[in-house]
Amino acid sequence: MSGNQCCENPPTLSSSSGAGQVQQLGGLNCYVSGLADSQFAVLLISDIFGYEAPNLRKLADKVAAAGFYTVVPDFLYGDPYVPEKQPISLWIKDHGTDKGFEDAKPVIEALKSKGVTKIGAAGFCWGAKVVVELGKHPYIEAGMSPPELVKQFEAALNAKPEIDGFVKIFPGVSHGWSVRYKDDDALSVRSAEEAHRDMLDWFAKYLK
């Protein structure tokens, strides 16, 4: 989660990307998309490159189109990782996922105060650890993350049949491909679209 592979294929960030808008929720800037009066919300938690990544916001709009109020919080406080500035090993010291977990709580409370009754969360690389922590507590009803140790996750889920889980391995794609794919990489685009459909099916099953 903080190795060199996490730094591959950095996106070109854009504060104006996406069809949604930036609002304050729980004291954080958040990219939001979809109907604010929906009872169902999904948090998308970014990787180290933050909430202005165009593909991440594009995914948020896709989730919103499926009927979920979608929120992408800026857990990095306007300080996403910039490979040219410092090594990832230094950056991660000031951007721990434990802080992301704590910062997620007031965002979730803000959503509930708006009438949201069920919340799901999906995390990417850095954000996956935040989702795992949220899933240990009754903050969310469903979670999705693309963990690097996916086979170990699969083994753990198989050992607990009372917990519903779904694991799919996508061969031939690079780290972070589901939100960092290049439009001219047909395999990554196709795999990302498939992963996005699986995610939407998962949230539809457990949130609606």
**Looking at the predicted structure, is the pLDDT value of residue 50 above 70?**
yes
pLDDT digits (tens, 9 = 90+) for 72-113: 999 999 999 999 999 999 999 999 999 999 999 999 999 999
When the pLDDT of each residue in the chain is averaged and rounded to a whole number, the result is 88
pLDDT at 48 over 60: yes
Q: Give CA–CA dist 78/11, Å, rounded.
A: 15
Sorting pLDDT into bands at 50, 70 and 90, what band is 9?
Answer: confident
How far, in Å, CA of 114 to CA of 110, rounded? Answer: 7
pLDDT of 156 > 60? The answer is: no
pTM over 0.85: yes
Q: What is the pLDDT of residues 12-27, one digit of tens each?
A: 999 999 999 999 999 9
Which residue is it, tokens 């099916």?
201
CATH superfamily of this structure's domain 4-207: Alpha/Beta hydrolase fold, catalytic domain (3.40.50.1820)
Query: What does the alpha-carbon distance between residue 137 and residue 63 come to, in Å, rounded to a whole number?
Result: 23
Of the chain, the percentage scoring pLDDT greater than 70 comes to: 83
**97-113 vs 126-135: helix axis angle to the nearest 10?**
60
